[in-house]
Amino acid sequence: MNEQQAPDVNAPIRDEPLFPNTTHIARREYRELVHSRLFHVSTVTLAVLAIVVALLPIAVRLLERGSTTRIAVVATSPELAKNTQNTLDAILNIEGRTKYEVLVEPEETEAIAAVDDHRLDAVVSARRAADGSLGFTVHGGETVGDGTVQLLNFGALSVALLDAATSGFKVPSFEVFRGATGGPSAAPYDPSAYASRLIVGAVFGVLIFITIVIYGMWVAAGVVAEKSSRVMELLVSAASPRQLVIGKALGIGLAGATQYLLVLAPAILTLLLEDRIASALLGPSAGISTSLKALSPTLLLAFGVYYTLGFALYSL
């Protein structure tokens, strides 16, 4: 009877260094992905989608070209309210087309709440200080752009100039706040910065969402390739499981980074040219500023770390 021999505990352990097998696997995975039809189609699709998202502010302005912006005036006296209404109406509608409807509201709190409910686009609060100087506060909604804010600023200066005949000219104060949520104590609001954050966030969100779907298909395709490719059979037999997993993760990750750069380049270029495109389509008073103002090295670093770690976890 043959007795089963016990394994030799002193047998030498197979030396399995991480390289060069991992490098060979990663290189092959990268080349197959970047030369695949899925990579080309998805890259073009993502690039077009990112450009479309970057151009959304201009598209919204084109759609709103024939609409009417409702602005309410609230003042400490009926005379000041009437003067402010007439001056703003003349300045805002100087082109002869009725784009702005300026009306007088009695209560500032209710008017600001109407901005939050999207029944009004902005509220201009006019007040007279003890020394006779005028002060103006704009509570603007999300649809109020830089062009409108500049016109309101000019209108406030015009009201002060017309008021100079009775109380002498004093430079008026002018503040802009965001909507209804903050009230008079809210922090100053920059409409262009708010819109820029929305667009940049939308671009990043679309990139993360779509790449999860695409890279999921890449990972699945890599698993199928192990069962259907003769080359992969040889690699599997020659490489250890650790080398195979790390090599495939590196290859797919590098392919993802390549696609990320190819998609991000036209999107950033579009954001850089956003103000020029808006000026060409809507005129120089379009009021659209470059969305890249919302970008910062910290934001890019945070997105890169989140993107890399998330993909590494997903692929492994």
For tokens 């495939």, the residue is: 248
| Tens of each residue's pLDDT in the chain, 316 residues | 455 555 555 545 555 666 677 888 788 888 888 888 888 988 898 888 878 877 877 777 776 666 678 899 999 888 888 888 888 888 887 755 547 888 899 888 888 888 888 888 888 989 888 877 888 888 887 667 667 777 888 888 888 887 776 666 666 777 777 544 444 444 444 555 555 566 667 667 777 776 677 777 777 666 666 555 655 555 556 667 777 778 877 888 788 788 888 888 888 888 788 778 877 776 655 555 555 665 667 777 777 777 777 766 766 6
- DSSP per position, 271-316: HHTHHHHHHHHH-TT-----GGGG--HHHHHHHHHHHHHHHHHHH-
| DSSP state letter for 121 | S
Going along the chain from its start, the domains and CATH numbers come out as 21-59+194-315 (no CATH), 66-189 (3.40.190)
